[in-house]
Structure 1
Amino acid sequence: MTNPLLTDGTGPYQLPPFAQISDDDFAPAFEAALSEARANTAAIADNPDAPTFANTIEAMEQSDGALDKVAGVFYNLAGADATPAREALMRDLAPKLAAFSSEITMNKALFARIDQLWQNRDTLGLNAEQSRVLELYHQMFTRAGAALQGAPAQRMKAIKERLATITTQFSQNLLADERDWFRPMSEDDLDGLPDFVIDTARAAGAERGQDGAVLTLSRSLIVPFLQFSPNRDLRRIAYEAWVARGANGGDTDNRAIAAEILKLREERAKLLGYDSFSAYKLEPEMAKTPAAVRDLLMRVWAPAKAAAEADAAKLAEMMHADGVNGDLEPWDWRYYSEKRRVAEHDFDEGQIKPYLSLDAMIGAAFDTANRLFGLEFTPLEGPFYHPDVRGWEVSRNGKTIAVFMGDYFARGSKRSGAWCSAIRSQKKLGGAVVPIVLNVCNFAKGDPALLSHDDARTLFHEFGHALHQMLSDVTYSFISGTSVSRDFVELPSQLYEHWLDVPEVLERHARHYKTGAAMPSDLRAKLKGAATYDQGFSTVEYLASALVDLAFHEGAAPSDPMAKQAEVLAGIGLPHAIRMRHATPNFGHIFSGDGYSSGYYSYMWSEVMDADAFEAFEEAGDAFDPETAQKLEDFILSAGNSRAPDALYTAFRGRMPGVEPLLKGRGLLDPGA
């Protein structure tokens, strides 16, 4: 029988046949796909004809279609719905796929063909997109070590395979710690908690086969628990368990793994002639250098720290007024900050959530995309890979442009956080391909599911990434959608968050899930008034993580990352009651793969642009201004990596931005400055 993973898919959109796929299908599908990709690559490298763009670059673009198809399904399922079999296969595949990548990028004959094309690029008659693709292929091979010979080449290959293995282990250890820790909650433990937190805790208990409510390390449960629980001792237990993920000793401890990852990254960079991994990693990014990254982060650090320290003093006063002596601690901040928000802005999450049902916010994201870009969303029937998953056909002017899938609820088989990925990317080479795009979140399940304002912002954020994939309009998959520099990729997602708070979006979609009544204008005003509330805290905890990430990678790899972390935090004067957003043993962004390594700063780099980009709509006097929306699609969302990111942004905005809109958006700009 034909392996279902290697078929063309089902229905008019050629969706993966999820109902027919079993875990036993993945290993043989990968084996067959790798064999085909190797044969295709060998044929390109050994082609006796002189290299051309068609017989080399375009041939490579089409050489691993089966592998892309299988990997697109497997890795999405492994992240969103892990099973022991999938986790075992991930561990087995990591070094194999790393070895295959090395075979390609360090193939001397193949690189010789690409290099010859690069040297003769001005004589090839390439269009702008083809020139960009050739540039990026040559860059990829060079930075992967294609020019290395002998022992350094072999060492590079070994480093990549080892990194693939241990970054996978880091991620699985983190998932295991999150999945395995829970604490049964008595009725006394539930005192003072809003109904939505109690409902979430009881649902978590049912998922784990427990009678009654449990506290877990899912962000959708632990953050509101820390916000609302008056039980300080229990807040401390929960908080310390949360920040200790990956640092509990035993088989799931990530501290030694983090040290080895940093050492191998440094060695990899030095094999290629760079002073540090950070210098290597940042070279193709917008930032270019560690100095540029540090300059941005420290420009924001001073006002953010000042705001956080002023807030800490007020929270400590509130705590002492409650009869609690001593210092304000990290497990106190969210609780007293929530009480202060209620006191100063006269609302809390309990007031907001009934107006932010999941269905309403999905509708708001879709309606915004319709008004900006003319997109229509039609529900699709499954089956998808999990009963919680929903799907839609995305069309414009009667033409299908994408399939969108949403997997919104937290469960034990899903890694934490929220993300967007493509099961299949857009391209035109070899025939137009409609992308299949997936948003994954970890919202608390309910009937109906009610979101916090931060949850709704997350939904809009990930949908911004999805638009970057769905509106992609390029020929080559290599530059499709979100295949852009790391410090540019967050621009579409963070920009899209702005529309959540546009008054007419809230008026149209923020409606009470029982009565259908619109969110009252006074509540919307309170929400707007609190928009920059607690930004000192959130900015400081983010910057602390970004600065530690940079310090890990811009010099010699630390033998003890935890000691280095402590040194960096002491050096910047991190306030006592705030910790890093992601401590080293659970910093999946930088240790579960290379994606955000020496790149966690990129959220703030992109925020400089997104704050400025939304001002373009404000300057036009309309959040849905058609001309500005068209420019956004033309130069950002549809363009992929067809031009350098600074060129794309300048084409959209006419110039590059300064940091002032970011500070203004976070409420950190001195009014007298």
Structure 2
Amino acid sequence: MNMLLQNWTTPFGLAPFDQITDKDFAPALQEALSAHNAEIAAIADNPAPADFSNTIEALESVGHLLDQVLGVFFTVAGADSTPEREALQRDFSPILSAHFSEISSNKALFERVDAVWQARDALALSEEQARVLMLTHRGFVRSGSALTGAQEDRMKEIKNRLAVLGTEFTQNLLSDERSWFMKLGENDLQGLPEFVIDAARAAGEEKEAGSPVVTLSRSLITPFLQFCPRRDLREQAFKAWEARGANGGETDNRAIAAETLALRKERAALLGYDCFADYKLETEMAKTPEAVRDLLMQVWEPAKAQANADADVLTAMMHADGVNGDLAPWDWRYYAEKRRAAEHDLDEAALKPYFQLDRMIEASFSCATRLFGLEFKPLDVPLYHADCRAWEVTRKGEHVAVFIGDYFARGSKRSGAWCSAMRAQAKFPKVQAPVVINVCNFAKGDPALLSYDDARTLFHEFGHALHQMLSDVTYESVSGTSVARDFVELPSQLYEHWLDVPEVLGEFATHAKTGAAMPKELLDKVLGAATFDMGFQTVEYISSALVDLAFHEGEPTQDVMAKQREVLESIGMPAAITMRHATPQFAHVFSGDGYSSGYYSYMWSEVMDADAFEAFEEAGGAFDPDCAKALEDNILSTGGSRDAVELYVAFRGRLPGVEALLKGRGLVSA
């Protein structure tokens, strides 16, 4: 019996991971695809005149078996990959692309959707129904449903090839990250704080290296670059980090990126757009590349000025250490950490014991309890990896969701952090509660200790989870995070602010060994240093966003690295700072279409999140109940059931400017 194809009778309908094997995926996918094809054919071939119920709602009712299979597969493929799963992913990508291309090019189906769209004014639809109809029709058009003949065939070829390229890009990056590590002898450990040494030893045990190692996991390499006094080791580690996806051979991503850009340009042209950025941004809040660039440049200039001023200070510190020459990218974090310790009397090694993973999870839950009345109870259920843990989420005794946390870095997990829903909230065709997963890459320890940035990441991803868990819409297609890309980061980035609330840190930032609360003096230093090195952080982010935008605006290039250099030179990129994601490892942009032309969206959302948190402060505090209710009612519960601009204005009464963002980043005087 293939459990992927069964009606799960497990607690809360969770996937029975202990009864699923890799051999189940391929046959389950074929069965689910066949079932979906039959469901689509029944809608397309329905002899009754098309209406909202038998066409649009019918589309909302199908594909659940396929969602069930893919929900499990993509969860384990991203968070616990194996060679067999990677091979399956390569096989599945073109199959799935072809499947969904066939649906979007089904002329009979599109004619029915279009007929409902044309009759929309006479249908007396609810606001959500009208939104679902518009999104469904627009999705078909933007997928190429109106194309015919050679253009239709070419669109299918492009989609299939892009799916293959995205999978290859991701797997190449994971391969480079997994294969490289640098052994550290006992002398190499000198000057490193205990928590870095512990993480290096744990990584060495996983790699079976026989000694501590530095890997390309961000949670390990970043503190190594911060604290390692050996410039030669920092340079070696940084260059390996920077070279991911650009090492030549089978895992090199540069040609993949170039081909992806060319295909995206052709795809946009087939649909009548001048460039891919025009096509992609049409459905976002920003609407146009010009609006995106305007926002980014408003922040770029003050950020660059701050970064250049900081570079002068760090260079002087380096010269005082007897190191001549220019400040290099592998020097910045080291001297910035020394400067932070000197100017803010803030020692990361002394700070880190106060950020225990378990206590930060409790903190994120506690804030959700105070804001939205949610309660979290641990669950003992089979999950896909021993590191995972699960909670039932309730409110006033009623089941709301299941939340799964997978927090530790491992070689089988792709880098970064993300939130996904194995099952999204919906009320049609039946009521279903969400199953939401946060995946992070924190270094293991006993206990596991986080950096302040790690703790922010945990709150960020839990903000996405709240968007999924508090969703209260009828149709799954507009549930949870199914919103404009430049709106989706608002709940996650907004939730980060609660980590900085003094009473939250005062309660949950307790010392790993003594259990003592963080002293007020240290707490004040943490909050006082919140905007430290923000010039660096802003420059590395915006430079990535501007390169992404430039890639998708003009003519595609065969030499993506030359184009990257051209963009960085044109904006005056500081020499000692690199892009947060250089092109060969820019998975946001090249592992799929999700953030292509859309990496700017984090900052677009930050403009709103800075303004939204000000609403709490203006209302009387971070836990103001009326403001929390307005946030849930107008943003967290509504998903994509209304336009993003409308939702934000309903919450705040207006759209924001960049002033709160600049102030929050310390790039202008308060």
TM-score bracket for this pair, using the shorter chain length:
over 0.9
1:454-481 per-position Cα deviation (integer Å, ceiling 9, x unaligned)? 0000000000000000000111110000
1 CA distance for matches of 2:502 and 2:165? 47
- CA drift at 1:170: 0.2
Partner of 1:246: 245
2 CA distance for matches of 1:83 and 1:434? 30
Partner of 2:477: 478
- CA drift at 1:670: 4.3
Partner of 2:436: 437
Partner of 2:132: 133
Secondary structure class of the residue paired with 1:303: helix
Secondary structure class of the residue paired with 2:13: coil
- CA drift at 1:353: 1.1
Alignment of 1:362-401 (within 5 A): 362-401=361-400
2 CA distance for matches of 1:124 and 1:276? 36
Partner of 2:324: 325
Secondary structure class of the residue paired with 1:13: helix
Contact 2:60 2:429 in 1 (8 A): no
Partner of 2:639: 640
Partner of 2:493: 494
The answer to whether residue 158 in structure 2 is matched with residue 147 in structure 1 is: no
In structure 2, give the amino acid aligned to 1:356. Answer: F
Partner of 2:115: 116
Larger displacement relative to structure 2 (391-400 or 182-191): 182-191
1:238-277 per-position Cα deviation (integer Å, ceiling 9, x unaligned)? 0000000000000000000000000000000000000000
1 CA distance for matches of 2:478 and 2:556? 32
TM-score normalised over the length of structure 2:
0.99
1:133-184 per-position Cα deviation (integer Å, ceiling 9, x unaligned)? 0000011001011100100000000000000001100000000000000111
- CA drift at 1:68: 0.5
2 CA distance for matches of 1:391 and 1:421? 14
2 CA distance for matches of 1:670 and 1:625? 27
Contact 1:285 1:487 in 2 (8 A): yes
2 CA distance for matches of 1:559 and 1:142? 30
TM-score normalised over the length of structure 1:
0.99
The answer to whether residue 549 in structure 2 is matched with residue 567 in structure 1 is: no
Contact 1:227 1:334 in 2 (8 A): yes
The answer to whether residue 299 in structure 2 is matched with residue 288 in structure 1 is: no
Partner of 1:337: 336
The answer for unaligned runs of 5 or more in structure 2 is none
In structure 1, give the amino acid aligned to 2:154. Answer: R
Alignment of 1:140-289 (within 5 A): 140-289=139-288
Partner of 1:463: 462
- CA drift at 1:383: 1.5
1 CA distance for matches of 2:43 and 2:554? 39
Partner of 1:598: 597
Secondary structure class of the residue paired with 1:441: strand
In structure 1, give the amino acid aligned to 2:305. Answer: A
Change over 3 Å in CA distance of 1:347–1:670 after alignment to 2: closer
In structure 1, give the amino acid aligned to 2:574. Answer: P
Larger displacement relative to structure 2 (554-563 or 608-617): 554-563
Partner of 1:103: 102
Secondary structure class of the residue paired with 2:377: strand
Contact 1:10 1:16 in 2 (8 A): no
Contact 2:86 2:171 in 1 (8 A): yes
Secondary structure class of the residue paired with 1:311: helix
1:533-586 per-position Cα deviation (integer Å, ceiling 9, x unaligned)? 000000000011000000000111112111000000011110110010000000
Contact 2:354 2:511 in 1 (8 A): yes
Partner of 1:662: 661
Aligned length, in residue pairs: 670
2 CA distance for matches of 1:651 and 1:110? 36
Contact 1:10 1:17 in 2 (8 A): no
Partner of 1:86: 85
2 CA distance for matches of 1:385 and 1:4? 14
Contact 2:377 2:393 in 1 (8 A): yes
Partner of 2:51: 52
1:490-520 per-position Cα deviation (integer Å, ceiling 9, x unaligned)? 0000000000010111111111122221100
1:209-244 per-position Cα deviation (integer Å, ceiling 9, x unaligned)? 121201111101100000000000110000000000
In structure 1, give the amino acid aligned to 2:23. Answer: D
- CA drift at 1:430: 2.0
Partner of 1:550: 549
Partner of 1:406: 405
In structure 2, give the amino acid aligned to 1:599. Answer: G
1 CA distance for matches of 2:167 and 2:567? 26
In structure 2, give the amino acid aligned to 1:179. Answer: R
The answer for unaligned runs of 5 or more in structure 1 is none
2 CA distance for matches of 1:343 and 1:491? 34
2 CA distance for matches of 1:483 and 1:184? 43
2 CA distance for matches of 1:540 and 1:591? 21
2 CA distance for matches of 1:476 and 1:514? 48
2 CA distance for matches of 1:143 and 1:557? 21
Contact 1:56 1:114 in 2 (8 A): yes
Secondary structure class of the residue paired with 1:426: coil
Secondary structure class of the residue paired with 2:11: coil
Structure 1: 4+ residue segments shifted above 6 A: none
2 CA distance for matches of 1:116 and 1:590? 35
- CA drift at 1:7: 1.8
Secondary structure class of the residue paired with 1:261: helix
Partner of 1:75: 74
In structure 2, give the amino acid aligned to 1:462. Answer: E
In structure 1, give the amino acid aligned to 2:83. Answer: P
1 CA distance for matches of 2:73 and 2:473? 25
- CA drift at 1:370: 0.2
2 CA distance for matches of 1:199 and 1:595? 36
1 CA distance for matches of 2:407 and 2:348? 19
1 CA distance for matches of 2:540 and 2:303? 10
In structure 1, give the amino acid aligned to 2:492. Answer: S
2 CA distance for matches of 1:426 and 1:357? 31
1:406-429 per-position Cα deviation (integer Å, ceiling 9, x unaligned)? 000000000000000001111010
Contact 1:329 1:576 in 2 (8 A): yes
Larger displacement relative to structure 2 (273-282 or 11-20): 11-20
Secondary structure class of the residue paired with 2:182: strand
Larger displacement relative to structure 2 (3-12 or 637-646): 3-12
The answer to whether residue 368 in structure 2 is matched with residue 359 in structure 1 is: no
Secondary structure class of the residue paired with 2:662: helix
RMSD: 0.7
2 CA distance for matches of 1:333 and 1:140? 45
1 CA distance for matches of 2:565 and 2:622? 44
Partner of 1:454: 453
Contact 1:366 1:377 in 2 (8 A): yes
Contact 2:255 2:558 in 1 (8 A): no
Larger displacement relative to structure 2 (130-139 or 207-216): 207-216
Contact 1:549 1:597 in 2 (8 A): yes
- CA drift at 1:622: 1.5
In structure 1, give the amino acid aligned to 2:340. Answer: R
2 CA distance for matches of 1:517 and 1:325? 43
In structure 1, give the amino acid aligned to 2:143. Answer: A
- CA drift at 1:11: 2.7
Partner of 1:8: 7
2 CA distance for matches of 1:516 and 1:195? 18
Secondary structure class of the residue paired with 2:12: coil
Contact 2:192 2:228 in 1 (8 A): yes
2 CA distance for matches of 1:431 and 1:263? 42
Larger displacement relative to structure 2 (320-329 or 181-190): 181-190
Contact 2:258 2:560 in 1 (8 A): yes
2 CA distance for matches of 1:383 and 1:176? 28
Partner of 1:303: 302
2 CA distance for matches of 1:365 and 1:296? 31
The answer to whether residue 616 in structure 2 is matched with residue 611 in structure 1 is: no
